[in-house]
A and B are shown apart, each in its own frame.
Chain A
């Protein structure tokens, strides 16, 4: 199967602490923070959106891997916070990275897993010989309604993966998806903020799909979850991935490298992909990685990935941990300004 030939990440610089959001709404900050397993989240500035994040992540992927942008035959951007309701972000990315005009492109939407579906699409196109290299991006500036539980977790960030056959840094050995119609989280047409079904988002939604996709893949390839060196789950908060690891018998240590939500929040379409990027930043040749994304609505894509010796030459710069460390704290008032929640302001 096609492999990963490059990757890149972008995380905006601003952070807001959970305790600052809790202060505004009169919540017990320590309780919220430990309940969600989140300390702070990344916040996109007024001039950042899922398109600018997608471009920055894609440029980091291309520059770090040395892939020729002319070889990119497909660009797919997964997001649930598109700057345009109608007009592709993928064309902005294509032009900005120099892959245009001879390429196909589209935006994917599947809550938090559209980016990994982009990876699967690129794999199919590469393996069939339709394209030489595909660019799959997961990027979001996630929206949380003020004083909603999501406001504590909805972060901003993204990751880009170049899929191809030429000297892969990691081989995608197999992929398996589990998808049903499960309305646990949604945003209706013209609605500004998503709605969610509270606790319903856990057992019948996140856990059913993540565990089924993981178990389906493991059965297909004849492995156990704990056989992998690193495991990355979709991370809507800091707690769900830990519970998923426990249910699959994965050592708690193995999910640590790929668990970024406690420090940057849930980057939605970017979440599992940023986690995988963080693993690739430190992985050794022959390390095996299990990645399971999750998108509400609902579905999971599971991947079995094996790192090659090419990783030593093409680790992405800046690294995920460098991006996590580069931060500037803002208070709730500046958060409201940057995320354009002040409706009286006008244009």
Chain B
């Protein structure tokens, strides 16, 4: 057990719906959410905003030695996804054959299990991405 319940619960809006922030002053999007706009500081006006669910692979790596909880999933792809609003998101890539995982490949968000807090603990769900044709 990782006793990860508070973390799992707090991240539900972010992980389920890609909820980020938008600064109404400089019109910049942020993900994950921010409490202060790094450009506008005290003049920033941050509001909740859902990020686009489609983007492209900006960079990726294939993980062969996964951390605890992910050790049976190896090898798997970890990618930085660039969304149309220039926001970058770190995510696992699933349902994507090796020959299709390339820089610039179009991807869309899918909903998956991220990890389970042991056999009896809570299950963390959230976004992963898959390469689309």
A59 to B117, CA, bound (A): 26
Smallest CB separation, A56 vs chain B (Å): 6
- The proximity string for B residues 50-89 relative to A, scoring 1 for CB distances below 8 Å and 0 otherwise, is 0000000000000000000100110000000000000000
* Contacting pair A56 B17 (CB below 8 A): no
A109 to B13, CA, bound (A): 27
In the complex, chain B residues whose CB is within 8 Å of the CB of A200:
none
Cβ of A310 within 8 Å of any chain B Cβ, yes or no, is no
In the complex, chain B residues whose CB is within 8 Å of the CB of A92:
16, 125
Cβ of B42 within 8 Å of any chain A Cβ, yes or no, is no
Q: Which of B94, B97, B119 contacts A347 (CB 8 A)?
A: B119
A45 to B95, CA, bound (A): 9
Name which of A47-55, A144-152, A182-190 contacts chain B. A47-55
* Contacting pair A52 B73 (CB below 8 A): no
* Contacting pair B111 A345 (CB below 8 A): no
* Contacting pair A95 B12 (CB below 8 A): yes
Q: DSSP class of B's interface residues: helix, strand, loop or mixed?
A: mixed
Assuming the contacts A13-B95, A98-B17, asked whether A52 and B111 have C-beta atoms less than 8 A apart, the reply is: yes
* Interface residue total, chain A, C-beta cutoff 8 A: 21
Cβ of A253 within 8 Å of any chain B Cβ, yes or no, is no
* Contacting pair B125 A52 (CB below 8 A): yes
Q: Which of A48, A59, A95, A337 contacts B113 (CB 8 A)?
A: A48
* Contacting pair B16 A47 (CB below 8 A): no
Instruction: Tell me the nearest residue of chain A to B68, going by C-beta.
Output: A347
Closest 7 A/B residue pairs (Cβ): A47-B113, A55-B111, A47-B112, A96-B16, A13-B95, A52-B111, A95-B16
Additional pairs, 15, CB under 8 Å, beyond known A45-B112, A47-B128, A328-B95: A13-B95, A46-B72, A46-B73, A47-B73, A48-B113, A49-B113, A51-B125, A52-B125, A59-B111, A84-B123, A95-B16, A95-B17, A96-B125, A98-B17, A337-B72
A–B pairs, 24, beta carbons within 8 Å? A13-B95, A45-B112, A46-B73, A47-B73, A47-B94, A47-B112, A47-B114, A47-B128, A48-B112, A49-B113, A51-B123, A52-B111, A52-B112, A52-B125, A55-B111, A84-B123, A95-B13, A95-B16, A96-B125, A98-B17, A337-B72, A347-B69, A347-B116, A347-B118
